[in-house]
Chains A and B, each alone.
Chain A
Amino acid sequence: DTAVSQTPKYLVTQMGNDKSIKCEQNLGHDTMYWYKQDSKKFLKIMFSYNNKELIINETVPNRFSPKSPDKAHLNLHINSLELGDSAVYFCASSRSGSGPSFSYNEQFFGPGTRLTVL
């Protein structure tokens, strides 16, 4: 009954490889996000999708390509991995539109994927 799930949890790979991280939510949310937590511990948004449409793209290198096959999934594909891509990547989801309380619209996060590029 996991709300937001990510696979894999850990990913170790060589520089130059291409890898994907998958995210799925079963909360019925219509908006999904990718965040990156770097070595300095800051959580920074990378992308957001609403109903499979890209809404936010935060100056992320075009080696990063999100893909949303449906509202419940937002995958992240990374080409030509670099050492600086090593980080923890979090997927999140939320409802858009107004709700009975602010917490109704807040973001639910997945457990994270720790990517290590060697």
Chain B
Amino acid sequence: DQQVKQNSPSLSVQEGRISILNCDYTNSMFDYFLWYKKYPAEGPTFLISISSIKDKNEDGRFTVFLNKSAKHLSLHIVPSQPGDSAVYFCAARRGQPGANSKLTFGKGITLSVRP
């Protein structure tokens, strides 16, 4: 069963515009959410995260919003740059990071930023 869902497989935006990547989850026990970015032939790279006690976390051009009641989070990238073109994975976790901590990943969204 897919506990983390990224229903849109791809997104294409113009350089300079906003990219909004969506993610839904079903497990209400998740209390920490992360976004990873992945280029071809590389491993995923941690991008930004948010605790379930917050509804927004911002880091430079990247902002993650969490709507717990809707079990929905989104990643906003503004302004989008061609170098942002990659696959973005949403992930969720129960509890603090550690060896017992499992990340549950979505399928990923392929973002293409057109120059």
Contacts and interface: CB of A to CB of B under 8 A. Distances in A.
Interface stretch (A11-19, A37-45, A59-67, A78-86): A37-45
B112 to A, nearest CB: 16
A94 B100 CA distance: 12
Contacts of A105: 96-98
A84 to B, nearest CB: 18
A115 interface: no
Interface size bucket, A side?
Answer: 20 to 34
Contact of A102 (B2, B36, B51, B102): B51
Contacts of A90: 43-44
B107 A40 contact: yes
A62 B22 CA distance: 36
A98 B96 contact: yes
A82 to B, nearest CB: 23
Contact of A111 (B41, B49, B97, B103): B41
A41 B105 CA distance: 10
25 contacts: A41-B108, A42-B2, A42-B106, A43-B89, A43-B103, A44-B105, A45-B102, A48-B100, A49-B99, A50-B99, A55-B99, A56-B99, A90-B44, A94-B97, A103-B49, A105-B97, A106-B46, A106-B49, A106-B97, A107-B46, A108-B46, A109-B36, A109-B44, A110-B43, A112-B42
Given A109-B44, A111-B42, 13 more contacts: A42-B106, A48-B100, A56-B99, A56-B102, A90-B43, A96-B97, A102-B32, A103-B46, A106-B46, A107-B97, A108-B43, A111-B43, A112-B41
